[in-house]
Amino acid sequence: MEIPVLELEGITKIFSRGYFKKKYIIALENINLRINKQDRLAIIGESGMGKTTLARIACLLETPTQGKIKWFGKDISNVSRRELSYLRTRVQYVHQDPYASLHPSRTIYATLADPLSRNNNIRGKELERRVEELLNLVGLTPPSYFLNKYPHHLSGGGRQRLAIARALTANPEVLVADEPISMIDMSLRATIIQILKILNKELGISIILILHDIGAARFFATNGGKIAVLYGGRIVEKGECDEIVNNPLHPYTRTLISASPIPDPDLAQEKKVIELKSYEPPKRELGKKLCPFSHTCLYSQDICFNKDPGLENVNDKHEVACFFWNRLPKWIPPWSKE
C-alpha cells in the first residue's frame, strides 16, 4: 500500500482558558485523515468548527492534545530534530490573510530569492531564473515587472499569488492553504483556486484547502478530489467530491448545500433552504458522547444525544457519521425542478 504523505490519527485538540475557573473548549475530536501523493482535499465548515486548528495541527504549528501525526510515514514525535527541520520544508502553509503574511519592506525578489537560495543552495543567474519561473507559475507576469516591487504594490489577489510562490520555494510535497480566497476580490478567487489545481496536477503537490464555501470546494476538488465536512470539531462526512455534492448523506452537509446561494434567479426563487430546529453552535462537552449536530438536526432521536456516531462507510468513496444516513429521505437538490 502506498505510504500517505500526511496522516492524522485520532487527533483531539482541547484549548483551556482561565486560571482559577478552567474552561475547556474542544476544538477537534478524534480526527482521522490520510492524504496520499497528489491528493486534493477540501475541508469545509462554518467558522468555529475547527478548520483552522486542523490545518495548523497538520503543519505542526499547533500540538494536538491527543493523537498521532505522521508525515511521509514517520511519526513526527519520534524523528530527530535534524530530520524534522528537513521534513518541515516538505509541508508548507499558505496563510489566510495575504495583507498580513508578507513582509512589507522586502521586495518581491527578496521575498522569493532568500528562501530559494537557502533551501536549494543556488545563487546568481540560476537563482534569478528560478524566481522568474515561480512568478510565471503563479501568474505574476511579466516577472521582470514585479521583481523590484513591494507587496503594497499588489492587489489582494497578487499578494496571495506571491504567498503561494513563497510556499513553493521549498519545493514542498504538501501544501496546506487556510482560506486563501476569503480576503480576495470576487473576480480573482477562481484564479487562485485554478493555480492550486495546476500545482496539484502538474507538480504533483498534495493540497489541503480549507474553505467555508462549498461551491468553491467543489470547483477545487471536482474530478478526483475529496471533500471533508467539519462540524463541531469532527468530520461528519468525507469522500469523493462529486459523490458528496451529488449525494450528501449527513443532514448538516445537506443544509450547507441548500444554503449555498446559486446565481440563477429562476432556480433561486424556487429554492428551499432546509430550516434547522435552532441555530445554536454545536454542543461540545468533555467526556460526553453525543452527535454534535443532534440539537439542531431535524431527524435526531434519543440515540443521537447518547451515543457518538463514528464515521461509517457507505461505499468505498463515501463515509458519513450519522446513525440514520440510510433512513433519511432521498436527496433532491433544492434547486431541481422536480
CA triple 33-39-45, angle to 5 deg: 55
* Single residue of 160, 260, 294, 300 touching other proteins by CB under 8 A: 260
Beta strands per DSSP E along the chain? 6-17, 23-35, 40-44, 66-71, 74-75, 91-94, 174-178, 206-211, 226-231, 234-240, 312-315, 318-320
In the chain, what are the helix, strand and coil shares in percent, each to the nearest 5?
Answer: 35, 20, 40
* Single residue of 119, 136, 194, 326 touching other proteins by CB under 8 A: 194
254 binds other proteins (CB under 8 A): no
- Complex with other proteins: residue 67 or 158, whichever CB lies closer: 158
Q: Which of residues 144-163 bind other proteins (CB under 8 A)?
A: 154-158
121 binds other proteins (CB under 8 A): no
Q: How far is the CB of 98 from other proteins (least distance, A)?
A: 13
Cβ atoms of residues 51 and 43 within 8 Å:
yes
* C-alpha distance across the termini of the chain, in Å: 44
186 binds other proteins (CB under 8 A): yes
- Complex with other proteins: residue 265 or 287, whichever CB lies closer: 265
Dist. CA 46–CA 16, nearest whole Å: 22
Q: How far is the CB of 41 from other proteins (least distance, A)?
A: 17
Backbone angles phi, psi at 108, to 5 degrees: -60, -35
Bond from prior residue into 172 cis (ω within 30 degrees of 0)? no
Stretch that binds other proteins, among 2-10, 19-27, 213-221, 321-329 (CB under 8 A): 213-221
* Single residue of 61, 268, 298, 303 touching other proteins by CB under 8 A: 268
Can you give the binding site for other proteins, defined by CB under 8 A?
A: 46-47, 154-158, 185-194, 212-216, 218-219, 222-223, 245, 255-268, 271, 273, 276, 279, 281, 333, 335
